[in-house]
Structure 1
Amino acid sequence: MKIALIHLATRETPQATLEKALELLHQAHQAGAKVAVLPELFSSGYRYGDALYTPTLLTLLQNFCAHSGMILVAGVLEQAGERYANRAKVIGPAGVQASYTKTHLIPAFGEPETMMAGQDLVTLELGGFKAGIAICFDLRFPELFRIYALQGVNLFLIPSAWPASRAYAWELFCKSRAAENQAYLIAVNHAEEPFGAASLAIDPMGMEMLRVESEGVGLIELDQAFPARLRQEFRVLSERRPDLYQGLLKNPTSK
């Protein structure tokens, strides 16, 4: 499966950002991509008023999918009652196929004060892979990715808005989450400041396959058989010791 990383800068309006996104998506389609991933909150960033445009945005992205046959994973901002939701929408020719709400809200950007936290993980079949969805700050919580792996997930898709100033941690977490779970990981970031960490494709060994550092499209071909073969040849998940891990559920949260 060929997948496109859409490394994109958010413009002054969601309409202008969508125009650039569609330009890059057309490039990806012409290059043979079947799936494309856009950044977290790609059209708005943390401009909460722009959530009003999200329904229109989703309709226009669905129209693109209907004409191209592609599947998109796009980070969007939605109104959620009196609060907001940071979501990753999986959009195909028939509309929204899945919706993941960010489960770990980042205090550094004020998300716990303005947003609702998601309560559910999301998996779906995608081009011969079982994909699991996460968003940005979720990368700091390995438990989420291990749960996905135990459910058979072999491809992590992660729209993100990660600051360049913490790029060292970004790259460490991306490679670690892929290697420890023997799964592909696609993490797509914003191109503008204060974000700007590189978008990355990591293989199930934790090796970097692709890096996109300036606005544009990165393309990578994924081998559907590789994760299963690696998990069979170099067993990890089967060697877990859940009897030793019970404390994870008993210890109080540290503040």
Structure 2
Amino acid sequence: MRASLLQIDVNPHESVADRRVRVAELVRAQSGSDLVVLPELWPTGAFAYEEFEANAESAADGPTAEAMAAAARGAGVWLHAGSVVERAEDGTLYNTALVFGPDGGLRRTYRKIHRFGFDQGEAVMMGGGQEVATVRLPDAVAGLATCYDLRFPELFRRLTDEGAGLFVICAGWPARRREHWTLLTRARAVENQAYVLACCSTGTHGGVPQAGHSLVVDPWGEVRGEAGDGEQILTVDLDPAKIAKTREDFPVLRDRVL
């Protein structure tokens, strides 16, 4: 299974429309991969709060969904298209991740459960999701999470209980906390004996420099690939059989009490 993480530069001098076109072309170029992953809120920037209202869209048929559906279909890949600012029918905004199949069909959405901001920003501007989300890929069940979710291990344990052996995390993680990003990504892999594909944006938006350093971590906690600071495509070959083998050879999950 080949996965490509597209570490997108979110530059406030590039329009949302132009970035959408550029990213769609990058996705189309990944036809040799099985799964492509984009960062959190890459159309606007995860900290560009002033852009949220103006760029909110439908998760099902908004301009980003339409562009990403066509790109997934053009490349013939599974696409975790990062997340968008979704405007629900009742007007509530959500930070919503989108997953498309190789035919371009929208297979799953995930509204971010844990909102960052400590009573400001995303925490007060957006509604919180209520449901965990998994999607069955051809060779593994993927559990979905977004950025700040990474700090809450109970979510990943729940995803493991739902059958996930691979976690896909889109993020707009700040550079000043990059060490936490690396530490927590590996911890989620080790404690659940699962692959973690964590895709972060780069650049600066909302005045917040981004961490970059997207990661692929295997079920033993070893880093199989890491991006740098700038825009980059990180492509890694995964062995889905390693999930079951790790859990069989070192059956720590069997000893859970709580």
For the criterion TM > 0.5, the same-fold answer is yes
- Aligned pair 1:98/2:108, yes or no? yes
Is the Cα–Cα contact under 8 Å of residues 28 and 217 in structure 1 kept in the other structure? no
1:197 aligned residue (200, 204, 212): 212
Is the Cα–Cα contact under 8 Å of residues 88 and 100 in structure 1 kept in the other structure? yes
Q: Which amino acid aligns with 2:22?
A: K
Alignment match, 2:227 = 212
Is the Cα–Cα contact under 8 Å of residues 25 and 71 in structure 2 kept in the other structure? no
Is the Cα–Cα contact under 8 Å of residues 71 and 104 in structure 2 kept in the other structure? no
Quick one: distance in 2 between partners of 1:117 and 1:77?
12
Q: Secondary structure at the match of 1:134?
A: strand
Alignment match, 1:163 = 174
Is the Cα–Cα contact under 8 Å of residues 150 and 237 in structure 1 kept in the other structure? no
- Aligned pair 1:125/2:136, yes or no? yes
Provide the aligned C-alpha RMSD in A.
1.5
1:52 Cα deviation from its structure 2 partner: 4.1
- Aligned pair 1:77/2:85, yes or no? yes
Q: Which runs of 5+ in 2 are unaligned?
A: none
Aligned residues: 240
1:110 Cα deviation from its structure 2 partner: 1.5
Q: Secondary structure at the match of 2:87?
A: strand
**Larger helix proportion of the pair:** 1
Q: Which runs of 5+ in 1 are unaligned?
A: 243-255
Quick one: distance in 2 between partners of 1:24 and 1:102?
25
% identical aligned pairs? 34
Alignment match, 1:50 = 55
Alignment match, 1:253 = none
Query: So what's the TM-score if we normalise by structure 2?
Result: 0.89
Q: Which amino acid aligns with 2:227?
A: V
Quick one: distance in 1 between partners of 2:105 and 2:94?
19
**Change over 3 Å in CA distance of 1:57–1:8 after alignment to 2:** same
Quick one: distance in 2 between partners of 1:178 and 1:3?
16
- Aligned pair 1:89/2:94, yes or no? no
Alignment match, 1:236 = 252
